[in-house]
Amino acid sequence: RQALEVDPATVDVDAILDLTSQVAHRYARPMAPVAAYILGVALGKAGAGADRATLAGEIVDSLPAN
């Protein structure tokens, strides 16, 4: 993480795993890493004050049905 200049304290592993689990079970497994990527992009654009849970929920709800 240090090589990427990402503060480990800002990485919510449990939230990422929860998101990918929801996506894998609700849609298709190959969409799980895509959803994690989308979450990272959304958080990067939203800035430090972004609500991870809200963004994750919006991602899950916006994916196309399987």
Q: What is the model's pLDDT at position 47?
A: 80
Q: Which residue has the higher pLDDT, 6 or 15?
A: 15
> Which comes out higher in pLDDT, residue 65 or 39?
39
Identify the sign of the CA torsion 42, 40, 55, 46.
negative
Q: What is the pLDDT of residue 36?
A: 94
Integer angstrom CA distances of residue 57 from 21, 25, 29, 30, 60: 12, 14, 17, 18, 5
Q: How many CA atoms lie within 13 A of 27 on its CB side?
A: 19
pTM: 0.77
12-60: pLDDT as tens digits: 899 999 999 999 998 889 999 999 999 989 988 988 788 888 999 998 8
